Chains A and B, each alone.
Chain A
Amino acid sequence: MELKRFFKANRTALIASIILGILVLSSVLAPFISLYDPLSIDLDRIKESPSMTHPFGTDNKGRDIMSRVIYGARVSLSVGLLAGAISMALGLFFGIVSGYFGGRIDRGITILTDLTLAFPSLILAIGITVVLPPGIYTVLIALATVGWAFFARLVRGVVLSVKEYPYIEAAKGIGCTKFRILMNHVLPQCIPVALVAIGLKLGGFILLESALSFLGLGAQPPTPTWGSMISLNRIYIHSAPWMVIFPGLAIALTTISFNILGDALRDYLDPKFMLK
């Protein structure tokens, strides 16, 4: 019901979520819907412009770009969503612990949060990915390391006000354990903030993943990713621009959809909160 009202008020958000739904579905069903094997090389058909047989054209090794874009969605979407989920979980944990217990724990976590936010995100992510063995897991670790602090700071703010509420006092009074208070009474209050935050940040995670891939620090070849396709194909931009245009459009479509949805979610849940 709630969902229906939300989408009725935000038609652009509805379009964005339909696009995202299609993207997720096509990446899950990639083996069934892509016309070609994304890795199969066909040297008779290199750098072909978009046509009926190859809707996005082919690359310098004759691989079908549309299939590679569809398979690339698997990496970008799964890494983006997972990194978002991990960051949110870490942010909830540290934010709640820091806000609720206060004192030295709070100071320690706050310092760590401020420090993480003191780094420009891509630069910190580069620092982490260059020393770990390259691959998807490394990208996940880097994105979560960069991303958790934003969530932790917001959640801590919520917890600081929630813990003064009388019902928390009451829960303490009837002898609830700390664990129970945190899980049943504090955590649910933080969920809306965390959801809004993840809505605002998912696009950013996907952009960061594509930037790392572009720099050669993401999933390694032959796995196709949007970022690495742009990076490896950019020397052909003059003779075969479709090799660069389509993977970029895929990134753009995904991040724009996530950002529109995130904005709508924020306005819907609480317009005042989190201007920045």
Chain B
Amino acid sequence: MISYLIRRLLLLIPTLIGITFITFLIVKSIPGDPVLGMVGERTDPETIERIKKELGTERSFVSQYAGYIGLIIKGEMGRSYYTNQKVSEAIIEKFPNTLKLALGAVIISSITGILLGIFTAVKRGTVLDRIGSFLAIGGISLPVFWIGLILMLIFGLYLKLLPPSGMGEGNLIYLVLPASTLAIPSGAYIARITRTMMLDVLSQPYIATAKAKGLKEFSIIFRHALRNALIPIVTIIGLDFGSYLNGAVLTETIFGWDGLGRYAMDGILKRDYPVIMGAVLVGTVVFVIINLIVDISYAYLDPRIRVKGKS
């Protein structure tokens, strides 16, 4: 296990180099002076001079890239053009809000997705299965930003059950609408995977044995079948984390949720390049690290993966 862990951590290095290289290429193609593009026009002249020296447009491409990496490692992602706030500070400040939203969404999407998946698998071939499967396909097809607006309209403005937007000083009820919106596409995805996995498991002989023993259907489904179907489902839940990051940009904008996504959106609207690139970089790195954690925990649960990786 430890050698697997070390191998995976080492593999992280080329990925991170590749990601920063791509963001570096994007930063270099920002219209105008790349240094200003990186740190913002309102940064004090000494810093601009220092970064110019460190990045040195007159130096070679490789040393410019090395300079860029150095800046990132120091957490130097520039300042916003407009507020002059350090991008790194803003990201640290807003990240917990996005995390809260994502956690809420993971909980909602896992529970509803798994239950819907089990339900459609058990009712296979019936009208209920068709309706459930259609709901699942709808969930992965609908644009998040539109669903968010419609939910806001129905529950926030017409029924007045939930606050339509804002954060409400940490009151959990404000989390319900944005988290549900964010949960819909991944919940639908989880439902589809769960259905496939459950159908696979339910057709196996040991389920027939359990039925022949006269066990109750509830216990067969949840104690015998679901347990074996769960590992791949959990993996999917983790690997699908990218869709939360994608969705966060849109969901947070709609609901006025003060997280990374809305921060990025504000940056996009104002063409505030340091903000955009900071959000892109941090979002991607978080995504990669979460994927790594999922991989490792999967390997921990299923020894075959560790062995296969070696050969």
Contacts and interface: CB of A to CB of B under 8 A. Distances in A.
Contact of A215 (B18, B29, B152, B265): B265
A122 interface: yes
Interface stretch (A98-106, A185-193, A254-262): A254-262
B153 A237 contact: yes
A248 B284 contact: no
A115 B265 CA distance: 24
Contact of A237 (B29, B144, B149): B149
A256 B144 CA distance: 14
A123 B249 contact: yes
Contacts of B140: 203, 259
A238 interface: yes
Contact of B146 (A123, A131, A251, A256): A251
A10 interface: no
B40 to A, nearest CB: 15
Interface string A207-251: 100110011110000000001001100100110010011011001
B41 to A, nearest CB: 17
Nearest to B287: A120
Interface string A119-137: 1111110111011100000
B283 interface: yes
B6 to A, nearest CB: 19
B245 A120 contact: yes
Interface string A135-176: 000000000000000000000000000000000000000000
Nearest to A122: B246
Interface string B140-169: 111111100110110001000000000000
B146 A244 contact: yes
A234 B283 contact: no
Contacts of A238: 153, 157
A230 B142 CA distance: 13
B30 to A, nearest CB: 5
Contacts of B22: 115, 119, 124, 127
B280 A123 contact: yes
A245 B137 contact: no
A114 B18 CA distance: 10
B145 A123 contact: no
A163 to B, nearest CB: 21
Interface stretch (B79-87, B106-114, B267-275): B267-275
Given A115-B15, A118-B284, A127 B23 contact: yes
A259 B141 contact: yes
Contacts, number: 134
A225 to B, nearest CB: 12
A111 interface: yes
B15 A211 contact: no
A256 B141 contact: yes
A119 B140 CA distance: 19
A170 B114 CA distance: 50
Contacts of A231: 145
Nearest to A245: B150
A247 B149 CA distance: 12
A123 to B, nearest CB: 5
A230 B146 contact: yes
B138 A252 contact: yes
B45 interface: no
A211 B29 contact: no
Among B14, B142, B287, the one with the most A-chain Cβ atoms within 10 Å of its Cβ is B142
A244 B29 CA distance: 35
Contacts of B284: 118-120, 123-124
B141 A252 contact: yes
B299 interface: no
B149 A234 contact: yes
B141 A207 contact: yes
A275 interface: yes
Given A122-B249, A227-B145, 6 more contacts: A124-B280, A126-B268, A127-B276, A132-B29, A207-B143, A238-B157
Interface of B: 14-15, 18-19, 22-23, 26, 29-31, 137-138, 140-146, 149-150, 152-153, 157, 196, 242-243, 245-246, 249-250, 254, 264-265, 268-269, 271, 273, 276-277, 279-280, 283-284, 287-288, 291
Q: Which 8 A-B pairs have the closest CB atoms?
A: A248-B146, A122-B246, A120-B242, A255-B141, A115-B18, A256-B141, A120-B245, A127-B280
Interface of A: 111, 114-115, 118-124, 126-128, 130-132, 203, 207, 210-211, 214-217, 227, 230-231, 234, 237-238, 241, 244-245, 247-248, 251-252, 255-256, 258-260, 263, 275
